[in-house]
Structure 1
């Protein structure tokens, strides 16, 4: 269950009430950690509203009207890198609001199903289509980390090769950026080995609490200053090879030789 979060709960009530009272909005839902019972005082709130002509909805004005007369003040508004309006309220409480056309309702059934709670997600549904999509979402199979592990490793190897080439070219900042993708793959495989796959989709979430000290220490050896990138990539490759062996996953032998920190041939 979500802990007692009075500010989050107050904001959630305001957004839900505004969506239900707006005749333009045909469907609305909440999603994310707050609906999953996993939020804390640092979590954000996230919503989708559906209406004909969503581009004509002034999302900023809509949210400000919903917050009028409340303790909440918009400190900052921006559209994130994925085109979604975002708000930072007083106290750094964050709010994300997507506006979509009802034709996109079917997409909901294809969202990641882990931790989905349709009863807590549903805000408004004028014709039953959203409830039906949420029911389909709830009946989808949960992620199967064992079945997905080889694919995770394959992508991880690709990121290692990409990063190694960029680093060899001398683009250290870019190589540092790519290391984040490597680390994400490593965390997934480490979670699988550690039996901590509850946050398989977002493997860094609560990693400090869910993963053992040895895993965290190993992870720390894959990150650090730009000047140590060669060492970080070598550590990442060594950990990748060890995890693959312990999990019974396949690494092409020729690729393993090429990824070793020895001089290229």
Structure 2
């Protein structure tokens, strides 16, 4: 039986809080990195990894927490850089001033750089088997790099003021948001040394969950408030960004969200058949969209 999501989040928060300072040597850089890392957030990505490990029969320990929490370091770097004046130029993130508003654009850039590289240090610097660390490093680099999240960000920039097709939009978001979520689920399978077939199904769940996550975020930019989201809303339309509601309307976006969630639920069932184990722990994550 997997640990409830709020407890997983607490374990991740505690690990991040106690571990970051040991690996940062410069005080202002440490403060800037810590400022964004500990500003809140759902911790969904490392929690997905840890929940997957438990559903596959694993018991959580510091090595697994370290490797899983590395993804939160990398995700936080992406948010800091995404908010920079040269990118989205946002002033608010998780209800607080963005990193560059607090520390300046130069230090914010370095804070992001520090979190990115520290993520790979944490993946490598633990007591997991060498082949596991190698696979995690490769898959994380692919998910975060120029054929994954960074490519998605580049497509997002080039796509402004252009009208993308649904397939183009889906591909953009698969890279920009979905690749890290896909990795989060796959990483649990890698750490538990699962078969290629099971890892493929885990990755498919991550892909569909990641797509649902992005569509939901697009919808909340229209339907929610700054207070509820902790960041500015209605910016996507103002900046003529390609979104699901912008392309399909709110009802069309909701339909695509439901299709992605249905596909993720089918992956969940497939995993139960393949492993003979319960994957009910994913229900907590799917409930995010309700």
TM-score (normalizing by structure 1): 0.29
Q: Which has the higher contact order (CA 8 A, sep 6+)?
A: 2
Decide which structure has greater strand share. Answer: 1
- Higher Cα radius of gyration: 1
TM-score (normalizing by structure 2): 0.27
